[in-house]
Each structure stands twice: as C-alpha cells, then as structure tokens.
Chains A and B, each alone.
Chain A
Amino acid sequence: MNKDNFNSKRREFNKLVFKYIVSITLLNLYLSNGERISDISNKKRYSKIKWVLSSNDV
C-alpha cells in the first residue's frame, strides 16, 4: 500500500470512528438523564413492555 493510499484509508477510518462517536454521544444525550446506551443494555432493568422479539435480538 503506498503512502497516499494509506492516508486515504486512514482518513476514511477516522471519519467512520468520528461518525460513530458523534452518533453515540447524540443518542446518549437524546436518551438524557445521564444514562449511557451501554448502561441501559447491561443493567437489565425492569422492562415495562413485553417485547415480541426474534431469537437474534437477545
């Protein structure tokens, strides 16, 4: 891989990471109350809804 090619791949990767971080931050902000999306998934809180899920969801 030449240098230009490497730089362009790196830029693409950096863009993806940046987008991911911004999305997570936005969603975390959106969900509010200082709750983080990772906390929600791990906490296994009491759910108020009995979800109809597929076997891949859980």
Chain B
Amino acid sequence: MILNEKDLLNKKYKILICGSGPAGLSVALELEKNKIECLIVEAGDEFYSEKAQNRYDGQIIGNFPNNLSASRLSQFGGTSGHWGGTCRTLDDYDFKKWPINKDDLEPYLQESCNILEIPNSFREKQIAKNLKIIEFQESDVRFYDKYYKHVSNSKYIDVCLNSIINNVKIQNSKIQEISIKSKISFSIKADFLVLACGGIDNSRMLLWFRENNKSISRKLPIGNYWMEHPFKKIGSGVGNFKAIRKSFKNNFESFENFRNWGNFTVSISPTQNLINEKDILNSGVFLTLHDRNNDNLKNNVKDLLCVAPSLSKHILDLFDKNLLCGITLSSSWEQNPQLENQITLSSSKDFSGIPLIKLNYQLSDQTLRTAKEMVNQVGNYFIDQDLGRLGADKTIEESSSFISDAGYHHIGGTIMGNNQNSSVVDENLKLHDIENLYVCGSSVFPTGGHANPTLSIVQLSLRLGEHLTKKLKTI
C-alpha cells in the first residue's frame, strides 16, 4: 500500500527498508512471499524529482569520469529507471575474497531471473588455453513499471515516498528509533532496519549514523575499498568478417542471447588460469565488427599497413572478396579494492541534513595492465586462428594519461567479511556492531568481478529476505 507520513505516526514495523531500488524491492518481495509486513521508505517520488535527485550531488577527487548525480536515480524503483539491463552472474573465482561463495547465491538465481524477466542461462565456453566466450542476458524490467501497482495493492508491503531516513538512535547495540524527514519530521520503530540506498549512499548513511552514534565502531572500514567497472574502448583491428563469425558462431551455435552491439558482438573473458598466471583482474572484452562503410575499418587498415606492410596483399585479397571488416575492442573490467578509493562525508549537507559525499577515486596499475594483457591475448588468438589483426589503442598504452569511463556500477564501501577490522557487514549482511542493522546492494561486494552487478544484488537481497524471515521466527 502507498502511505503518507501521517499514516505512519505511532506505527511499528517488523522490517523497515530504506530505498526502493532493485535491492530494497527484492528484499520486500521475499518478505511478502513469507507473509511478513514491511515498510519501504523511499527518498524519491513516484517519478523523477529534482529535489530528491539533488541529494545525489557530491565532490570528486581523482579520476572518476561520471557525474555522481546522473549515475543513479532517486525515485520509486531507484536506478533501474534508467539502467541498461545487461545481466550476468559473477564467476565462482570472483568470490575469492568473499565470506560466501557462488553456491550460496545459486538457490536465489532462478527467482532473481524471474524478477528481471531473463532466461537463467549464462553459458560460457573455453576457446583457447587462456580465453572463454561468455553469455549475457538483457533485462527490460524497470522496477517502477513492474512493481508500483503490485506494491500499491500489497497487503504486506507499505511504501512511503518523498521520505528520507536521516538518522537512527542506537542503544545497547540495537537501533531503537529511526528518524524520517518527510513533509514532517518523525520517528518510527522497527525490529530490523535494512539499508538499500544504492552503492554510494549505503556508505554515506552508515558514515552519518556513525557520526551520531558512538556504538558504531571507528574501526569498521565504512566507505573504503570503493570500486567501479572501468569501461572503455581499448583496441582496434581488421579482420575476416566471415571467418570471425564462423569461428565464434561455431562455438556459440545455440547461444542466442549474445550481447549484440553493432553488426555482431562477441564477449570474451580470461580463464581463471590466465588471471592467476598474469596476476590480472577479471574482464569482459567485446569485439564489435564494422562493415566496409564504417570509418573504423578505413582508419584501422591505414594504421595496420604502416607497421605491417607484408599484410597488404592479404588485406587486398579480403577486400576484393568483400570479407574485410573493422573491429572495435571495448572492455568492462574489474577494479581491484584499494583502501584509498573511498567515500567520505563532505561539509555541505542536503536539505534533509545529511552530508553530501566526497569520492576519492584512482585506477591502479593492475587495472590498466589487465586491459593491455587482454588485447594481447585476444590479438594472439586472432593470429593463431587467422582471423585478422588486433592492437591496443594508444590511450591504454600510455599509462600516465590513462583515464577510463566507468560502467555506473557502484561497488564496495560497506564490504562483507568475517573480520571486524577489514569488513563492515558479516556474511548475512548485518553490520558487525549492531544487532538489527542490515545493508544490501553492491556496496557489500568485497570484489566486483566484471559482470554487471544487479543480478547478484537481487540474489543477495532474496537471500537477506529469507534470513530475516528466519530471524523473525526466533524473536
């Protein structure tokens, strides 16, 4: 049901969820399935509002390429209102630093795919000693479109829009009261509070709660190890269109849901063996083929013939047979967790009194080395299979000037782990110090892999919903 702030006065909920994005709504859906009432408090309106969105402004120190406000959305359904919808599960070796592993999320995969309306199919096939091709799925789900009506009619999910959770009162390691700033300011009680404010604001809220409550330990690395997925065109090439199509089609005969940009796009990833051997990060490289009318092909041919004149005859031959194509290599890849990449609170505040954030962000050498190594590996695969020639763009070769775009995937800051000095939440996503405060979203990922995060966020949220259901039975 959609409620207004006056309906909430003197009410007590079992579970209060802060944020109605994919994370918050998925927790609520799982609770609803188990017939448990919850309240979602959402800072935004039903649709976009400048007032709510302005809370997302902030200050950047370093090389973060995206605008902090444009990279998320404050409204019912959260950032799913303008997400791209690309989905893939994390690889099992992405969980190396996590306190849980891929099998722990597996029971929630089918239901997560149902929520996102995608087939539960994320196949991969090794094509060389060091490389595999991988499958993505594309979701068209916007959580507002799919769930607004549903929650409006729900007996178990209440939602209050245009309302901001702006503080908590903690006593005896438990949250006793939650302050909300709406048209009026008031407090509410709940047995459990779940923060699902997105990959930046989960850190922001916890930092702010800590400023106001001594019982949240200074030792918790809140805001630290923040990550993105660098996303960039990393290389170019020239090749035999038919041979490339055939080579990858053969491997992917029945893989229909390829990531499909341009004429034909293949997604390639390093094997675990390559990651370990070369000490690189996980990565997805996308090859897009361009036809002969595309300037990419002309420029790439010119460039290649400068350095490899003996290839002229071969290129001429392909051109003659109308088989020559240009190739663009783009990549979305993993960033390693670094202590210095962190979210802190700024001295300016939003209209609800919560400080805006400061983001410190740099890319590491390992991140750049990963991109170079992948061009090298895929380039050698092209030589071995006689598919064409690939090369790295000068932008990734000249380290000093390297700045990458980013995929709008906000990871880390409230990372999961068993040790209170090096993590913020435990394996059940509970804040180490506090008995009834949980955090959900990609902010809890200790490492981010290369796959887009939302499918894993939904899996983790369903798992949290199930955990809270069990917890409530023990009270």
Interface residues in chain A, defined as those with a beta carbon under 8 Å from any beta carbon in chain B: 19, 23-24, 26-27, 30-32, 35, 37, 40-54, 56-58
Contact = CB atoms under 8 A, between A and B. Distances in A.
B311 A57 contact: yes
B23 interface: no
B188 interface: no
A19 B383 contact: no
Contacts of B32: none
Interface in B393-413: 393-394, 397
B129 interface: no
Query: How large, as a class, is the contact surface on chain B?
Result: 20 to 34
Contact of B394 (A26, A44, A45, A49): A49
B367 to A, nearest CB: 18
B319 A47 contact: no
Contact of A52 (B292, B298, B320, B391): B391
B236 interface: yes
B386 to A, nearest CB: 10
Contacts of A24: 316
Contacts of B301: 31
A44 B306 CA distance: 5
B316 A51 contact: no
B296 to A, nearest CB: 11
A44 B382 CA distance: 23
Contacts of A58: 307-310
B60 interface: no
A53 B308 CA distance: 8
Contact of B310 (A47, A49, A56): A56
B375 interface: yes
Nearest to B319: A27
Contacts of B383: 52-54
A40 B306 CA distance: 6
